[in-house]
Chains A and B, each alone.
Chain A
Amino acid sequence: MVKVHERKFVSADPDKCVGCQVCEYVCSVTKNKAFNPLKSSIRVVRINQLINLSVTCRLCENPPCVRACPRDALTQSEETGVIMVDKDKCNGCGWCIEACDYGAIMLHPEKKIVFVCDLCKEKGEPQCVKWCPEEALDFVTSDVLAQKARITAVKKLFQEAIKETQKTP
């Protein structure tokens, strides 16, 4: 069995994300064959011109959305961690939307049931990650995110030393 911390999810790098919404469009096209950000399970937040970030499901451990559903419509895949929505059980009440700290669960404007990022399982990889023009989106595990953060921090600490090592052939 895959351990929880090896689950990969889509994460945006705030230093790289420019708020262009390509992820929203490509998500809606992949799932709906139409351009409509309301049908995207990844959404851009622009606080101001300098602060942009795409947000989508982070495949929480012990996910509050699943616990919040009074109709047991939501379950989490043990294998991938993806939140699965039982279309017959969901009535669009929105308890899961409220429970999610990240606003990663959306109510479909026409179907009136919720949907959430499924990592584009039918395509083999999340399409938003593939299309992001800024390479701001990563398909990663929490562990790798932590690794990257550590590497960045250490690089900053040792900027001068790194320059030195790059000089040597």
Chain B
Amino acid sequence: MLFGYAGRVLYVDLTTGKTYVEPLNEDYAKKYIGGIGLGIRMWLDNSKPGVDPFSPENPLIIANGPISGTMWPTGGNGHAFVSKSPQSYGVGESKAHGSFGTELKRAGYDAVVLKGKSERPAYLWIDDDSVQILDASHLMGKSPSETEDAIREELGDYYIRVAAIGVAGEKLARMACIINDKTRACGRTGLGAVMGSKNLKAVAVRGTNDVTVAKLDEFMEYIKEFHERMKGPATQKYRTLGTVENVLVHNSLSCMPTRNYNNSRFEGAEKVSGEALNDKFVAKIIGCSSCAMRCEHMCVVAEGPYKNTMTRMEYETLWALGPYCGVDRLDAIIKGMELSNYYGIDAISAGVTIGFAMDCYERGILTQEELDGIDAKFGNSEAMVQLVEKIGKREGVGDLLADGAKYAADKIGKDSYKLAATIKGVETTGYDLRCLKTAALGFAVSFRGADHNRHGAYAFDVKGKVNRLVAEKGRGKLVKDMEDTYNLIDSFIVCKFSRGTYYKELPDMAKLYTLVTGFEMTPEQLKQAGERIQNAARLFNIREGLTRKDDTLPWKVMHDPIPDEGPSKGAFVSQAELDLLLDDYYEARGWTKEGIPPVEKLKELGMEDLISIVENKE
């Protein structure tokens, strides 16, 4: 008997309607832990090289972790979606918390592999051992939240958990996300569109089985200890102002991309600060299943044109819909966020793409007519809200923008690619990479495209542990170590907001793994697992055709020095600096100059089964 793990994987072929269950590969479980690690490894087994992201042959995998379903604080509740991304054509992965992953574990599954394409709109109903593909025609056009309510109503159980796509996913918008528990999104890399391409509107789960751990008494003691840690300074930021605290911090360091990277600081920052948000709009801070922290800042707009808007806010989405579009009205930003959830789009990608469109408009690349009559000047909050709506519905100019900045630039031409702040086709996040050079490396090599959550390397820059304006040797190792840890966080799955409570990091995580699963795990083995997951992701990308050339940065980051007076003035990342950083990073990883893991490396990590991907490439 397994502990922590359910020990089973569900396979669903949406084309034929056939479903079957296989035992979890225990070797994979130990080597790749769960979550994104397990998902990435299983994706490689279940797909053919070069598969189109929207092909029925592209599997969409849901994976929870060994901790899911327990009351481990922040860890009981996570799940990951993994597939080939329609934005990057490489690794697509995104996690969400809430209550979906925990329910899936109790239904008895560590992972679900969804293949094929349903003939008609369908949703999957996993009721413990009973798995059915049900008609979803009546759910089409509904928001994820409405879909959740409708499914609960028709299946007659108000505790059923649902992950669903909105209209954007149905219409294959490459920035579409998958939302569970109404406001929790697997937001990045466009997996909502992959789900949509399978004609799959939602996955509904009810799990009634026990989840047990190997060493219950010690586990409960450990939980008690972490409950105490979570009341301490390591999580204070998330429990009080929340991530929106970053607005003023980043602005003071002049590292907050503003108006599509035309500036690095925002004169309206005070108006959209975390302080202002909490003062005027945060109605309650709620928590996920099993969490002892609580971070979810629920905002309500009480008056004005956006009265009665209610949604969760975080820094990245606030930044994207706010400063990045030059918008200084919090009520409009909150509305933009609510609409993003309503239509099921990643609000980061939406904001960055709208910033891109506004830049095109101000430079005369897009006309007001092409923008459906919208006066898309930077700072026009109404225009921002209208464009979110258009993208969400994929209407008018929204059709052009719904695939994100890169794909819009491809269609627009006229050198507009220079204005698209994307890496590997994925929109960047709220860190001005021109003056955060450790972060710049992390973003460039991130296997899921532009992202802060694959490495957290910005911390070295923002906290002043390194000279953030300088690219130098040694940053590669810093990024590598952070990546390995982040891979573990996303594979266990625990919440990144809780990372500070693992005072000893690897030893603490190894102890957790052992108490839950009963498999002895040393910190060294765990470290290696983190490295292994990174290599598996790299192999995924190599197999799908990505190379060193894709480990790059947005055009503006490399050509447009920061104009603003202040500590970051004049900063940008040159090709020479990027090359130096990449060389240093590949070396730290033990990869070739082209960024390919050599056979020896794969052997060292026990990945002999994947050697064929790099053969003839070294």
Contact residues of A with B, CB < 8 Å? 18-22, 25-26, 29, 32-39, 48-50, 52, 109, 131, 133-134
Q: List 12 A-B contacts (CB under 8 A).
A: A18-B284, A19-B287, A20-B294, A21-B290, A26-B71, A33-B212, A34-B211, A35-B70, A35-B210, A133-B73, A133-B230, A133-B293
Q: Enumerate chain A residues within 8 angstroms of B213, measured Cβ to Cβ.
A: 35
Q: Is B209 interfacial (CB 8 A cutoff)?
A: yes
How many angstroms from the CA of A32 to the CA of B71 in the assembled complex?
14
Does the CB pair B69–A35 fall under 8 Å? Answer: yes
Besides A22-B290, A26-B71, A49-B286, 7 new A-B residue pairs in contact (Cβ under 8 A), listed by A number = A21-B71, A25-B70, A34-B210, A37-B159, A49-B298, A133-B231, A133-B287
Q: Is B291 interfacial (CB 8 A cutoff)?
A: yes
Does the CB pair A25–B216 fall under 8 Å? Answer: no
Q: Is B312 interfacial (CB 8 A cutoff)?
A: yes
In the assembled complex, the CB of A35 is this many whole angstroms from the nearest CB of chain B, namely 4
Query: Among the interface residues A26, A36, A49, which one has the most CB atoms of the partner chain B within 10 A?
Result: A49
Does the CB pair B290–A25 fall under 8 Å? Answer: yes
Q: Is B21 interfacial (CB 8 A cutoff)?
A: no
How many angstroms from the CA of A34 to the CA of B76 in the assembled complex?
13
Does the CB pair B286–A35 fall under 8 Å? Answer: no
Does the CB pair A36–B209 fall under 8 Å? Answer: yes
Does the CB pair A36–B292 fall under 8 Å? Answer: no
Does the CB pair A133–B289 fall under 8 Å? Answer: no
Partner of B292, one of A22, A38, A48: A22
Q: Enumerate chain B residues within 8 angstroms of A109, measured Cβ to Cβ.
A: 208
A22 in contact with B210 given A36-B106, A50-B310 (CB within 8 Å): no
How many angstroms from the CA of A32 to the CA of B286 in the assembled complex?
28
Q: Describe B's contact surface by its main secondary structure.
A: loop
Contact residues of B with A, CB < 8 Å? 69-71, 73, 76, 99, 106, 159, 182-183, 208-213, 216, 220, 224, 227, 230-231, 283-294, 296, 298, 300, 310, 312
Chain A residue with Cβ nearest B182: A49
Q: Enumerate chain A residues within 8 angstroms of B69, measured Cβ to Cβ.
A: 35
A35 in contact with B208 given A26-B71, A49-B298 (CB within 8 Å): no
Q: Enumerate chain B residues within 8 angstroms of A32, measured Cβ to Cβ.
A: 210
A38 in contact with B300 given A22-B71, A25-B76, A133-B230 (CB within 8 Å): no
Does the CB pair A50–B300 fall under 8 Å? Answer: yes
A29 in contact with B292 given A18-B285, A35-B210, A133-B230 (CB within 8 Å): no
Does the CB pair A35–B296 fall under 8 Å? Answer: no
Q: Enumerate chain A residues within 8 angstroms of B284, measured Cβ to Cβ.
A: 18, 49-50
Does the CB pair B312–A34 fall under 8 Å? Answer: no
Does the CB pair A49–B211 fall under 8 Å? Answer: no
Does the CB pair A49–B310 fall under 8 Å? Answer: yes
How many angstroms from the CA of A22 to the CA of B76 in the assembled complex?
10
Q: Enumerate chain B residues within 8 angstroms of A48, measured Cβ to Cβ.
A: 182, 310
How many angstroms from the CA of A52 to the CA of B106 in the assembled complex?
23
In the assembled complex, the CB of B49 is this many whole angstroms from the nearest CB of chain A, namely 40
Q: Enumerate chain A residues within 8 angstroms of B300, measured Cβ to Cβ.
A: 50
Partner of B288, one of A20, A33, A35, A131: A20
How many angstroms from the CA of A31 to the CA of B613 in the assembled complex?
50
Instruction: Sort A-B residue pairs by CB-CB distance and give the 9 closest, nearest first.
Output: A34-B210, A25-B71, A133-B292, A20-B287, A18-B287, A35-B211, A18-B286, A21-B289, A36-B210
Does the CB pair A36–B227 fall under 8 Å? Answer: no
Does the CB pair A18–B294 fall under 8 Å? Answer: yes
Partner of A20, one of B159, B183, B292: B292
Does the CB pair A29–B310 fall under 8 Å? Answer: no
Partner of B290, one of A20, A33, A49: A20
Q: Enumerate chain A residues within 8 angstroms of B73, measured Cβ to Cβ.
A: 133
How many angstroms from the CA of A97 to the CA of B296 in the assembled complex?
33
Q: Enumerate chain B residues within 8 angstroms of A35, measured Cβ to Cβ.
A: 69-71, 76, 210-213
How many angstroms from the CA of A50 to the CA of B311 in the assembled complex?
10
Does the CB pair A29–B71 fall under 8 Å? Answer: yes
Does the CB pair A49–B296 fall under 8 Å? Answer: yes
Query: Among the interface residues A26, A35, A36, A38, which one has the most CB atoms of the partner chain B within 10 A?
Result: A35
Does the CB pair A20–B220 fall under 8 Å? Answer: no
Q: Enumerate chain B residues within 8 angstroms of A21, measured Cβ to Cβ.
A: 71, 99, 289-290
Chain B residue with Cβ nearest A130: B224
Chain A residue with Cβ nearest B71: A25
In the assembled complex, the CB of A45 is this many whole angstroms from the nearest CB of chain B, namely 9
Query: Among the interface residues A18, A20, A50, which one has the most CB atoms of the partner chain B within 10 A?
Result: A20
Q: Enumerate chain A residues within 8 angstroms of B183, measured Cβ to Cβ.
A: 49
Partner of A38, one of B76, B208, B287, B289: B208
How many angstroms from the CA of A39 to the CA of B207 in the assembled complex?
12
Does the CB pair A34–B212 fall under 8 Å? Answer: yes
In the assembled complex, the CB of B295 is this many whole angstroms from the nearest CB of chain A, namely 10
